[in-house]
Structure formats: structure tokens, C-alpha cells
Chain A
Amino acid sequence: DIQMTQSPSSLSASVGDRVTITCRASQGISNYLAWFQQKPGKAPKSLIYAASSLQSGVPSKFSGSGSGTDFTLTISSLQPEDFATYYCQQYNSYPWTFGQGTKVEIK
């Protein structure tokens, strides 16, 4: 199985901050990488697919980059509604696997 490791596991940030979350795959996955946002008690919401493509309806403050084994999710200017847990997921090979999550909290 491909292991996905996110860092940090949690972070505290202020409204307006630029936030970057990293996801590393244990082997190369090309651009088969997705990012999801999950708020407490809610289903995950898709943000990014193919490492850098924005899902329809997702604001442009979210961006993704990377290829191979190293990927990043950036939120350009953190807003109150962005405080949530973020997960990366690889879908290059089965079983598809998720990272352990990064919780973004209010400073």
C-alpha cells in the first residue's frame, strides 16, 4: 500500500494568514492526488483533484501543487469558514489511501 503522510498534523493560524499543508507519498503517484476538507460532523468536501485542478465551485484561494511524491495544499488567505481538517488522498494505485489529516485551528 502507498502510505500518505501529512504535515503538520495540526496548526494554529489567524484569519488572513497564508497556510500550507504538505502531503508526501511513500512512492511516486504522478498527479493522482486529491485534497478534501472536512468540518466536524460533516462529510468531506472535495477541493482539488489531479494535484492542482480545482473542483467546480471551490474558491480560488485554495490551490494545490506537486507531482511524484511531494504535494502541497495552500490556502492563500485563511477565513473563518476554512477552519477544518484537511485530508490528502492518492488514487494512483489500489488501495486508494488517505493521509492522517491536518487540523487547522484558530490562533
Chain B
Amino acid sequence: QITLKESGPTLVKPTQTLTLTCTFSGFSLSTSGVGVGWIRQPPGKALEWLALIYWDDDKRYSPSLKSRLTITKDTSKNQVVLTMTNMDPVDTATYYCAHRPQDIVVVEPAAFDIWGQGTMVTVSS
């Protein structure tokens, strides 16, 4: 059974750096094709994709946030860490991590299948 859980501060001040950790179980991030991504959702708004890291350490970022984001993995700890610098009140949101499985069938590319419960982050002085 795959599970993911986000952890980190619930409140950060403007200009501070946010560090979020996704701790997972039930899969290995060293398995070919597997990835873990981060997605956020401001209150009452739509989902926004932030970043994704693959088993081979390939990293992808949202261009609009790329200068502020860093995603890393610790395969031995089953963790993925997202850091976001220079936090602003508009970054107030629930942050989710999600599992991207390996493709089983080439013509059926895999998408996020299991999500963490999310963690709410408020940016305020």
C-alpha cells in the first residue's frame, strides 16, 4: 500500500524559506520510471503543479516558480524535500505531494495516482 505524508511549518513569515518534506512508503524512488511531485492549492482555488523528481534524479519545475524552488530526494529515507525561497502571502496554500508510478503499458502513460493528505501553509507576518 502506497502512502505519502507531507510535513513542515504551518506558518512562515514573508521572505522566509519554506521547507516541506514528503515521507512515503510502499514504493521505492530508485525504481525506474517512478517519480514524486508537488502540487499546491490556494484556498478556494485550483490545483497548481510545482515540481517533480524522478528515480534517476531528473528534476522538473514550474517555470513561473523555478527560481524559487528546489526539489531533492533521499532514497534511503524515503523522502522528497521541496524548498521554496522568498515566501509571500500569495504562496498561502495547501501543499500536496503525489506519487507518479512507472509506465506499465507504453500507450497508457502513468499520471499521479496516490496523493498525500496535504499540509496547509500560511504566509503572514
Contacts and interface: CB of A to CB of B under 8 A. Distances in A.
Interface stretch (B8-16, B18-26, B45-53): B45-53
Interface string A37-75: 010000111100110010100000000000000000000
Contacts of B46: 87, 98-101
A1 B49 CA distance: 12
Given A1-B63, A96-B49, A98-B48, A50 B113 contact: no
Contact of A91 (B107, B108, B111): B111
Contact of B111 (A45, A50, A94, A95): A50
A98 B47 contact: yes
Interface in B44-75: 46-49, 52, 60-64
A86 to B, nearest CB: 11
A3 interface: no
B77 to A, nearest CB: 22
B62 A46 contact: no
Interface in B99-125: 107-118
A44 B63 contact: no
A87 B47 contact: yes
Contacts of A101: 46-47
Interface string B30-51: 0000000100000000111100
A46 B112 contact: yes
A97 B63 contact: no
B121 to A, nearest CB: 15
A77 B46 CA distance: 26
A44 B115 contact: yes
B113 A95 contact: no
A96 B117 CA distance: 20
Given A44-B115, A94-B60, A96-B52, A49 B47 contact: no
B49 A98 contact: yes
Contacts of B109: 31-32, 49-50, 91
6 contacts: A87-B46, A89-B111, A89-B112, A95-B62, A95-B64, A101-B46
Q: Which 10 A-B pairs have the closest CB atoms?
A: A34-B111, A50-B108, A49-B111, A43-B115, A96-B49, A98-B47, A95-B62, A46-B113, A94-B60, A100-B46
